[in-house]
Structure 1
Amino acid sequence: MKLLFVMIGGFFGAICRFALSEWIHTNNEFPLATLLINESGCFLLGWFLTFVSQLRKIRPEFTLLVGTGFIGSFTTFSTFSMETLSLIQSGFIFMAFFYVLTSTVLGILLAYAGYHFAIAKREK
């Protein structure tokens, strides 16, 4: 049954990622769509896991559906890795470095912001 929840969440997360990447798609070399998708996923997961941990009556399947399934398939480390490699192979070393640095540092900051957003909403 747990697998079903992950599959359902993953199905919708992958569709949302695809739709957003098509909508955000740019013609330049920088992978803006993946950056924005992954960073929003960092914020959402930080918020969601904090919010759920504060509630005592949430079923674990809900966390699997949204956290593991939806947000897990919405974000994509493999695409980030391949786009970074492509930037390096194309000679855009500085852009690749900027992409990695921005993705990791901003991702951690946004996860932290999501955590604090959930805490602040709970305290009100």
Structure 2
Amino acid sequence: MFEVLCVGAGGFVGAVARYLMGLVPYEGDFPLMTFLVNFLGAVFIGVIVEITSLTSLLSPNATLFLKTGVCGGFTTFSTFSLETLALFQEGNYLTGGTYAMGSLVACLAGVALGMAAVRGAVSLVRLLSVQGG
């Protein structure tokens, strides 16, 4: 039961963060805020996965809170899908295609970036620990 609460609490945090990102003023045809939310969520989930695989810093419940809860509540695949379809239905094929492909590429790169950042940080900490004593 505690695991369910961890996911729910994380989902609350992620959903509120997503809502706040949506309040950022932006004018334009490209759904920039959803794009950024999905990219940031991809980076964050990459960080969480790599921290979990390389260290013991996060408990299984903390991992559930962050990965399933926060990332699940924050990222917006359903909104992305709706916005992409709306762009196509409005005849904005170039913007819709750019958004769909750009989101895919950016989010894959985001996960890889998050994972690489943690690997680099862990390597640096290990190097400094060896040099320090």
- Residue 47 of structure 1: CA displacement? 1.1
For 1:9, the aligned partner's letter is: G
Residues 46 and 113, structure 2, Cα contact 8 Å, conserved in 1? yes
- Which residue is 2:110 aligned to? 110
Q: Which runs of 5+ in 2 are unaligned?
A: 125-133
**C-alpha distance in 1 between matches for 2:117 and 2:46:** 9
Q: In 2, Cα distance between the equivalents of 1:114 and 1:28?
A: 28
Give the alignment of 1:49-64 within 5 angstroms: 49-56=49-56, 58-64=58-64
Render the CA deviation track for 1:25-67: whole Å, top value 9, x for unaligned.
4232211000011001111110111012212353211011011
Report the equivalent of 2:98: 98
- The aligned counterpart of 2:130 is none
Change (3 A) 1:55 1:89: same
Aligned length: 123
Partner of 2:121 in structure 1? Answer: 121
Q: Distance in 2 between matches of 1:12 and 1:56?
A: 23
Partners of 1:15 and 1:31 lie apart in 2 by 19
Does residue 26 (structure 1) correspond to residue 26 (structure 2)? The answer is yes
Aligned-partner residue type, residue 29 of structure 1: D
Give the conservation status (yes or no) of the 8 Å contact 2:51–2:57: no
TM-score (norm 1): 0.94
2:16 aligned residue: 15
Which residue in 1 is equivalent to 2:131?
Answer: none
TM-score scaled to structure 2, two decimals?
0.88
